[in-house]
Structure 1
């Protein structure tokens, strides 16, 4: 894609081709993550997941995050609309009351600010669950990535996940959401009867990477996902600029409430 002009927001197949190509440091993980609650699958995400390619498992990438997800926000909008679309009237009549009820429910679950959508948090959580499921060893509370580049040595450690998001209303930036998910929170999702007293709620870091200049977007995106983490250190620090392009960052923290279903959301 180098040298080409991107005149519209990148659809899934285009961004996949930007990240996965011959010689790329990324490989496409074919199985999408599933959000699990109380040992039951709740939602299969439309998120496309990548992991570090086998040929890149070297010392220079040992600090790179093992999985990265991509999601087109339009898929979230479509999924909500499909879920809250009333069934046709049995006599082919007008199903007005149910239609109005569905519209009211849709307005209630649609966030005013898309970047604070709880579904994004659920996707980050499902990616952490995906990582734990793929890498869990026979030893209790020890999680090992499928390749020996990253180890989680105890139940208090953090699963680091990243989610790229594009949205049609913003054709200038690709958005990056980053989170450190403690394994105790994953245990709580698996067994909601566990005590929540010592659970640390993760902070969601939101940054934006500009598409322009288009000719260097692929290089800058790869650098942001791989090299920056290695040279910058802790997750959430202000990323470096590449080719004069500024990365705009923001961070929000999950709030704690009595109702667990309300915890999976972003606090303004």
Structure 2
């Protein structure tokens, strides 16, 4: 009823609750459903004074769990693809920083820890520069260093890639990743397909905090609703263990995609490999004793599904990601140990040839073999 000065002010007004879609936070990609609880207080001598309370709730909280699967015009089940997963799961097609364990569950991706290779018989590197770089790496972001000093060296089968790798979806670049790519030297005859290697200094937690940073409140006030929203999204997207972060899967897929696009442009669809080995070296500021090597053999059909989301996933199987912890100490052998862990034992002979050519041993008696020659003649230790 309309309010007049002669009428008595109503008591215990029920709050009005309604929802609107509004991109209120331009720094956050998804839109949010904002319920506004409006309470109007009546005064006899003054105008109505509205008091508005804002409650920010992510749109994913309103998703129906029992949503029917999409069907075609003939009421037949639609083909399972990344596109249909995006339709049936409202928060599936989001920025890679927002990927959660639910994404891994839908794609049947899991993490598995494996033992490191036996590298106890490696030659001790006399390079003080590489040993100092390995020591700096163990401190994370505290000291600057060049990872190329560790991975690209004499005897290493790796060389740096100038192109920046990023995550592509539906033929478009979604985001560039904070990492550096390496590949096998072109003139080196090794096993096929050749692995693609990446290096990443883990900072996904800092990127998420920056992405969800709320806008400044007017007149220097504190944006409490924005802070609550930021905390909610960080809790939702932060994994229990950083080495199970779905963002690492994005790095592996992006590395394989870089290799896939290069082969596709050079040779076409007829000579594409069935599997692309992707390797990722990761260091974390909270892990001063170990570096992590993540490995995934990614099918080219998976990359085709990412390039064309409407393609059927019937013949595409997402990989199991295995990871290995490699100790930094002793620093003198870290360069050789980490490269062999990344590329595998098939490339170990390149180190042996270089080290043997530069070795200076003592004179030995007739019929006696030195340790270096024995290492080269014996098969590589798995």
* Same fold flag (TM > 0.5): yes
Note the alpha carbon deviations across 1:171-226, whole angstroms, 9 max, x for none.
Answer: 11110000011111111111111112222121111111111111111122222234
1:80 is matched with which residue? 208
Match of 2:342 among 216, 225, 237: 225
Contact 1:65 1:161 in 2 (8 A): no
Equivalent position to 1:166, from 283, 292, 296: 283
Residue aligning to 1:110: 238
Q: Deviations over 1:125-160 (max 9, x none)?
A: 0111111112213532433xxxxxxxx2xxxx1111
Separation (CA, whole Å) in 2 of partners of 1:115 and 1:3: 25
Partner of 2:322: 205
Residue 67 (structure 1) aligned to one of 196, 209, 234: 196
Match of 2:188 in 1: 58
1:42-100 CA-to-partner distances (Å, cap 9, x unmatched) read 1211121111234xx233x3458442101111x21221111111122233221111111
Q: Does the C-alpha gap of structure 1 residues 103 and 140 become closer, same or farther in structure 2, counting only changes over 3 Å? A: same
Question: Which of 212, 217, 221 does residue 93 from structure 1 map onto?
Answer: 221
Equivalences for residues 105-254 of structure 1 within 5 A: 105-136=233-264, 137-143=266-272, 152=273, 157-226=274-343, 228-230=345-347
Give the corresponding residue for 2:176.
44
Gaps of 5+ in 2: 1-128, 349-382
Q: Is the 1:64–1:226 contact (alpha carbons within 8 Å) kept by the matching residues of 2?
A: no
Partners of 1:213 and 1:64 lie apart in 2 by 32
Q: CA deviation at 1:15?
A: 2.4
Select the structure that is richer in strand: 1
TM normalised by structure 2 equals 0.52
Partner of 1:13: 145
Quick one: distance in 1 between partners of 2:230 and 2:140?
Answer: 31
In angstroms, what is the RMSD of aligned CA positions? Answer: 2.4
Distance 1:180 1:227 in 2: 13
Compared CA separation, residues 159 and 31, structure 1 to 2 (3 A): same
Larger Rg: 2
* Cα distance, 1:3 vs structure 2: 4.8
Q: CA deviation at 1:112?
A: 0.7
TM-score by length of 1: 0.73
- Relative distance call for 1:3 and 1:115 in structure 2 (3 A) is closer
Cα distance in 2 between the residues matched to 1:34 and 1:87:
27
The answer (yes or no) to whether the contact 2:293–2:341 under 8 Å persists in 1 is no
- Contact 1:63–1:230 (CA under 8 A) maintained in structure 2: no
Residue 14 to residue 201, structure 1, CA distance change in 2 (3 Å): same
Distance in 1, matches of 2:131 and 2:247, equals 34
C-alpha spacing 1:223/1:22, structure 2 compared with 1 (3 Å): closer
Deviation, 1:117, is 0.5
**Secondary structure, in 3 states, of the residue corresponding to 1:14?**
coil
